[in-house]
């Protein structure tokens, strides 16, 4: 009953639903992007969702991180997220990983995932995640938001990562300005890419960066190429 409306989609069907139930996805970050990603993956019936975060909920999170409520301020985000998601779908496994992901532990933390979804706002973490995913040959869904602007892109060993296109050198404002609704738009797209990758349907955003400008109400698709001098891709050539 729960999945009736998606099982009748020809590209999903009962086999696709079973595949989702047998899938393991790791989501890094349970905040502005993580809230829509986790909510839609849980409600779609992804069988095992691993969540990595070590932050606690603060009041300034609440304009965008809708898994967390006013009463959760001070609580571990993982705990807060798990409580809501378990109420939404009690039939899935929710794994809490209360650790900061860094280059040193990234492979260990991400191994065994069918897809990884990156929902952080920190460049060093993004780079560590991309390195590990390329090394482990796990498709990665990357998303980012600033103000009313955001992007989403899929990354693997054969397609451009953020370092390939120089994004790792980008200057980031701290704190990052974010409209909650923009994180909702981009996070929802990340969940959609994740489901496509799990089911091997549609055309994933490998080599294509989908950019959203909420102020002008427009989308751009930018073709991006893997760079031969990329350190993230390059490091793995030599290992
Ligand atoms: Zn690269």
Sign of CA dihedral 212, 216, 217, 218: negative
pLDDT of 184 = 98
Distance 100 CA to ligand 1 centre (A): 23
pLDDT in tens, 196-206: 999 999 999 99
The rounded Å distance from CA 129 to ligand 1 centre is 12
Banded pLDDT at 236 (limits 50, 70, 90): low
- Residue 63 half-sphere exposure toward CB, CA atoms < 13 A: 8
For the chain, percent of residues with pLDDT exceeding 90:
92
Q: For residue 165, how far is its CA from the centre of ligand 1 (angstroms)?
A: 7
Three-class secondary structure of residue 17 per DSSP = helix
Q: 236: CA distance to ligand 1 center in Å?
A: 10
> Is the whole-model pTM more than 0.85?
yes
Domains of the chain: 4-238 (3.40.50.720)
At residue 94, the 3 state secondary structure works out as strand
Q: How far apart are CA 154 and CA 145, in angstroms?
A: 15
For ligand 1, an ion, list residues with CB under 5 A: 161, 163-164, 230, 232-233
pLDDT digits (tens, 9 = 90+) for 127-136: 999 999 999 9
Interatomic CA distance for residues 236 and 17, integer angstroms: 34
Q: What's the 127 CA to ligand 1 centre distance in angstroms?
A: 9
Query: Can you give the pLDDT at residue 238?
Result: 45
Q: What is the pLDDT of residues 46-66, one digit of tens each?
A: 999 999 999 999 999 999 999
Ligand 1 centre to CA of 206 (Å) is: 12
135 C-alpha to center of ligand 1: Å?
12
Looking at the predicted structure, is the pLDDT value of residue 89 above 50? Answer: yes
């Amino acid at each position: 009953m729960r999945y009736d409306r998606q099982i009748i989609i020809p590209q999903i069907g009962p086999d696709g639903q079973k595949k989702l139930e047998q899938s393991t996805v790791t989501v890094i970050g349970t905040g502005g992007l993580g809230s829509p990603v986790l909510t839609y993956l849980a409600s779609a019936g992804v069988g095992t969702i691993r969540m990595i975060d070590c932050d606690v909920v603060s009041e300034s999170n609440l304009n965008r991180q809708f898994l967390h409520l006013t009463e959760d301020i001070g609580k571990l985000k993982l705990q807060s997220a798990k409580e809501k998601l378990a109420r939404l779908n009690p039939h899935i496994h929710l794994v809490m990983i209360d650790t900061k992901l860094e280059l040193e532990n990234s492979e260990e933390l991400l191994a065994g995932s069918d897809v990884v979804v990156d929902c952080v706002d920190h460049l060093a973490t993004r780079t560590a995640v991309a390195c590990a995913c390329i090394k482990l040959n796990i498709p990665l869904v990357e998303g980012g938001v600033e103000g009313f602007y955001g992007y989403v892109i899929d990354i693997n060993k054969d397609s451009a990562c953020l370092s390939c296109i120089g994004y790792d050198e980008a200057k980031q404002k701290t704190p990052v300005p974010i409209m909650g609704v923009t994180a909702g738009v981009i996070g929802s797209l990340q969940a959609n890419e994740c489901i496509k990758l799990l089911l091997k349907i549609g055309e994933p955003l490998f080599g294509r960066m989908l950019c959203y400008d909420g102020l002008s109400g427009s989308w751009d698709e930018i073709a991006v190429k893997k760079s031969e001098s990329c350190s993230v891709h390059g490091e793995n050539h030599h290992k």
